[in-house]
Each structure stands twice: as C-alpha cells, then as structure tokens.
Structure 1
C-alpha cells in the first residue's frame, strides 16, 4: 500500500486531521458501497441506468467501495496526439490505453469514439467503456476554444459502452449552445440506459484577474457543478478548487457573502466540499481531474488530490496524463496509489 503520510509530507497533518465545520459531513450524501440503492435510486433514471452505474462501481480495485478511479485519454484530440503521446508513443495505439486501465485496476476507461471502437470487440466486456462525445480541437488556425460533437450516443451504445461523457465550457460565449447540445445527448443516453458524465469546466479569459486564475475558484466551479446536475449529469468531473472569490474579483453574476464567510474557508478540503455541495449535497457524485503531468512530483500530487477529494466527500479521481505519459509500469503505480487512498480506512471524511 502507498505510504500516504510520507507522500503528503509537511501537509500530512493539515490534510489528514482537518475536520470541516463550514458544511458538516452529516449534511452530505457520501459515497459508500450501497450508494446506488440508498441515494441514486431516488432519481428518475431507468433501471438500465442504475445497472450500468452499478457496473462502474463494481469494477477494478475500488469495486464495492462506492468510489471511482477512471482513466481518461481524450487528449489526442484536445491537446493533439503528438503533444499527448510523444512522451510515450505506445499510446498512439488505443489498445495500450485500455490495457493501462485494466492493469491499473480502474473502474472504467474514457476515450474517443475512434479509439474505443477500434478495440471494442476485444475489450468492451472486460472493462466498462465511457465514450467522450465532444472535444475541443486545436488544429484550426487561429486557435479557437469550443466543443464539437465527434460521436453520437447511438455509436457509443452500439460498441457496448456503459457511459458517455461530454464537456461544457461554462462562462464561454458558446456555453448556452453547448448546454443545449449536451442536455439533448444526455437525454438520449438515459433513454438507452447509459450513464452520463459531464466535464463541467469554466472557460473565459475574464476569469483570470490580477494574476489569479479563477477558473479553479470554488464559487465558479461550484456553480458549474450545479448546472451540470441540473441537466442530469450522473457524475460530474471538475477541476479541484484552488482558490475562491471568483464572482467578487471579476465583479459579475450573483453570489452571497455567506458563501465566503460561513460555507467555505481557505482550507483545500473546504473548497472542494463546496464543489460537492453544489452536486445536490452529493446526491450526484463528483470526481476531480488529476491535472497535467509535471514529472517527478506526479505521484505525490496525485495522492494529495485523492486525499482532498475523498475527505471533502468526493467520489474519486479521473486521472490520465500523470499515468499514460510515462512507462506503463509507472502509470499503473500512480493509478494504484490513487486507489490506495480510497481503500485506506485511515483516510476518512472530514
């Protein structure tokens, strides 16, 4: 098992002993082995959606815990194949992406229509597939930032996927069109019994102010989460909150002083708990993204992110670049280290 305290270093006591008082854990619907029965079954979803959601929970090293560890590799479109796979060219072959997810003990593998369909007959029955329906692409010049659908829900269903995912850039000029597109896709997915996962990202150049990037502020990402669950995302993927006060700094929208004085503090667990609270107090699970690979510190950073997510009431991690931009053995080790946090009985809800 991973030595969690050693990897957390000087932050160990602060992250492992902290107790949330702003939003107490008793108010949350927490991940647990019976989450689908006890919490999610109250939703209006079809029995086939519940079955496929339970399939996600029942796979990999975290099977039976109520937590999720997902390998996402859609960066070949989002960031270009060269930028994504040059550090480890074996991942130009989608089969190795699926093998990494299996060897790494993940609950599911998330990737593109083409990537997963190219190996679906060999692997769709061995690990749950999550097909990412839309992507940004940066081959157009000048570079623009928008989400375009590359796949239909029916194509994902036909290859045996249990879930579909999509991104919305909340705050962007294109966000209202994206909301409509994704809402319609999620409705069709639910009709077919598939689980829906939303990458609920904020994007607007105005969200950077005075040297601070409020794309990862608790208040703005929290509102993105709230819209995500409104359009019936079954799982919300969100970047981990790193600061707060985006509304006030940018001076737009609506908020309330108690968001900052009573519902949050500066502690990272409280910031992420506010993100969870905006997912209907955990009635819909929130998984945090693992972030880009930065080299030798990736293992410690991945464990830190997992500890914060779990103690805040989150449902797990969806971590890709830290795992696939290195040799497969090392990638498996990072995925297992993340999972060890959720398997550890000593890492409790704050």
Structure 2
C-alpha cells in the first residue's frame, strides 16, 4: 500500500482500514468493478448511447477500468461566488484551466457549468468526458435563497458533446417538489439523447439544524439518495455522513416528520463512518447507482481529509469522490497531487470493501 495513505490517516488508520462492517453485508452490494457497466447498466432501460457514455466515463483517467471514478467539479463560481471560490488561485477564473486540471489530474470527468465547458468544448469535449451541471443556486438574490434554477437546456449539453448532465435537488426545501419534477423530466430527456445523469442529492432546511447539523445525517441523506435513484440518476453525489438520527430528532414533541424504523439505527447502522456511508450506498439500490461523496471545502488538512473521505467511501462500497475546492484552490501542480492522492486510495488493492 502507498505509505502516504497510512501517513495521512494517522491515528485513524487502524480504525478505518481494519473495520469490519456488521450492519449491511457487502455480499448484498453491487460493487464497483471493471465490468460495472455491463453487469449493472446493460440490463436497465438506458439506451446504447447512455451505455457508451457511461463506459467512456468509467474508462477515462487513472482509475480507468476499475469501476471507480474521480471527478473534478467546478461549479462553485456560481454556487459559492466566483470571487470567494477563485481568489485563492485566480487562474481558475479562466475556464480552460479547469479542464486542464481535470486532465492533468487523471480524472474520469470534469463537471462544470454550461459557460465553462461550452467555452472550450471544441478543444476538449473529445478528450475528457464533460459533465454539464444544468442548475444552480445563483446566490445573488438578497436575501440569499436556497433554490436551484436551470441555467440552460439539455440540448445545449448534447450539442457541445457532453457525456453526462448533472443537477442538484435541495431535498427538504420549499422548492423541492418543483425541482424533483423539473430534474426528473430533464434526466429523462438526457437519457433519451444518450447522456448519463448525475444528481447532487443535497438537503436544505433550517429545521435540520438542531443539536447537530442533520443535513449530514445518514438517515436523511440516505433517503435523499433513494429519491435520487428514483428519478434514474446513474450516479449519486452526496456529502459524507457525520451523524445519524435526523428523523428521530425532527420527531419531537407535537411535531411529526417523515417515517422511520428503529432498525435503521440498531441494525442497519452504527456510529462508525464506514457503516454510516454503507447506509447511503444501500439507499442507492445497494450500489446499482454509484455513490460518490463530495470532497468538501478546502482547509488546513486537505490531503488527510481527502484520504479519509476516499477510504470511507471505498470501504463502504461507494464508487469514488468528486472533489473540487481542495484541488483548484491551490497551485495546479498541488491540485494534481491532491487528485492523485484520492485516486491512489481506489488503486490500492489492499484497501477492500468492509
């Protein structure tokens, strides 16, 4: 095993690398592998063009042929504002550098906006799979609101040669019902044209902030994943769970929220991060739709944090990482190194599914 992996894990190495999952057995999962498209997607209602694009994504970059994916997402220029996102490294105001980072970093795909990818599509769309993010929270309305709106049409993504489209739904928000219908229709049309679909299954509701931030609870994020695969997302993007019991916390006093079964907390999960992530994978039809966890914000310990997330995702039965800010908010050479560090986890045969 790459010694850097254990070095980055530090005192968590044994806790993560030797954990045995006794909740949902790995034998029940549809695990990543070089034959994943043939084994899982070939029997679905996806047409041949979707299978071709999925196969292209799974067979690009350093992780080609493994069934795992490493994706560079840079839509933060809208989602978090361009200034806040790129001030640390202004070269990424130039859209071409985003695609260059994904290629140099050995990624399976680059995910960004209509504007970013369209601005360089004739130069790069045949060199790395494009994942066009079709909706965003524009963040300029005052006061800020949590509402994902379309920034273009599916036909535009098709015309620029995109392999896939992606979207966010803010499950739990006032706008969720509208977003579910809108994105379900968009994904159906994308599939018709032959593009794969990736859904950011995020939670947004101020009521989820109680004694803990239950936007990161395994039970609520798991249910968001389940809604995502219901509208036929081929890959689910979700934040790594940090706690559990969101449904229970919101069912207090006279309030009634959702439905739960105590076995979610006593048999299907523990407080171990791998077991919590395993519950997210289970809600993706036991892995029929691949779970990719987000890399999160950049900070003082990016390499260690990224390694931690990758190990948890892989050992839980996930499909990979989609990490942006940790990579592009540093010099390009360091960004490439960060992406390669994540990929090394998925290339390490010694790191197995728990």
- TM range, smaller chain: over 0.9
Is 1:55 the counterpart of 2:56? The answer is yes
- Per the normalisation by structure 2, the TM-score is 0.98
Deviation at 1:244, TM superposition (A): 0.2
Q: Which residue of 1 aligns with 2:164?
A: 163
CA-CA distance at 1:31 after TM superposition: 0.3
Q: 1:53 to 1:2 in 2, by over 3 A?
A: farther
Who is 1:279 aligned against? 284
CA deviation map 1:288-327 (0-9, x unaligned): 00000013x0000000000000000000000000000000
SS at match of 2:271: coil
Query: Which aligned runs of 4 or more in structure 1 are off by greater than 6 angstroms?
Result: none
Equivalent residue of 1:209, what SS?
coil
Conserved in 2, the CA contact under 8 Å of 1:40 and 1:284?
no
- Spell out, residue by residue over 1:242-266, the C-alpha distance to the aligned partner (whole angstroms, 9 max, x if none): 1000000111210100000000000
Structure 2: distance between partners of 1:116 and 1:227: 28
1:172-187 correspondence runs (5 A): 172-187=173-188
Q: Is the 8 A contact 1:2 1:340 kept in 2?
A: no
1:44 aligns with 2:33: no
Which residue does 1:302 correspond to in 2? Answer: 306
What displacement does 1:139 show? 1.0
Task: Give me the whole-angstrom Cα distance separating, in 1, the residues matched to 2:267 and 2:113.
Answer: 41
Aligned residue in 2 for 1:257: 262
- Per the TM alignment, residue 329 of structure 1 is displaced from its structure 2 partner at its CA by 0.6
Q: Which residue of 2 aligns with 1:266?
A: 271
Residue of structure 1 equivalent to 2:74 = 73
Q: Do the aligned partners of 1:200 and 1:236 also contact (CA within 8 Å) in 2?
A: yes
Asked whether the equivalents of residues 48 and 194 of structure 1 are also in contact (C-alpha less than 8 Å), the reply is yes
1:218 paired residue number: 218
Cα RMSD, aligned residues only: 0.7
Please name the residue that 2:150 is paired with.
Answer: 149
Task: Give the aligned partner of residue 114 of structure 1.
Answer: 115
How far 1:207 sits from its partner (Å)?
A: 0.4
CA distance in 2, matches of 1:2, 1:310: 17
SS in 2 for 1:3: helix
| Structure 2 counterpart SS, 1:69 | strand
CA distance in 2: counterparts of 1:142 and 1:203, whole angstroms: 16
Aligned to 1:316: 320
Q: How many residues align?
A: 348
Q: Which residue of 2 aligns with 1:102?
A: 103
CA distance in 1, matches of 2:144, 2:349: 46
Q: Which runs of 5 or more structure 2 residues have no equivalent in the other structure?
A: 252-256
Q: TM-score, normalised by structure 1?
A: 0.99
Shift in alpha-carbon separation, 1:339–1:2, aligned structure 2, 3 A: farther
CA distance in 2, matches of 1:266, 1:163: 35
The equivalent residue for 2:246 is: 246
Q: Is 1:135–1:150's contact at 8 Å kept on the other side of the alignment?
A: yes
- Cα distance, 1:161 vs structure 2: 0.4
Residues 2 and 337, structure 1, Cα contact 8 Å, conserved in 2: no
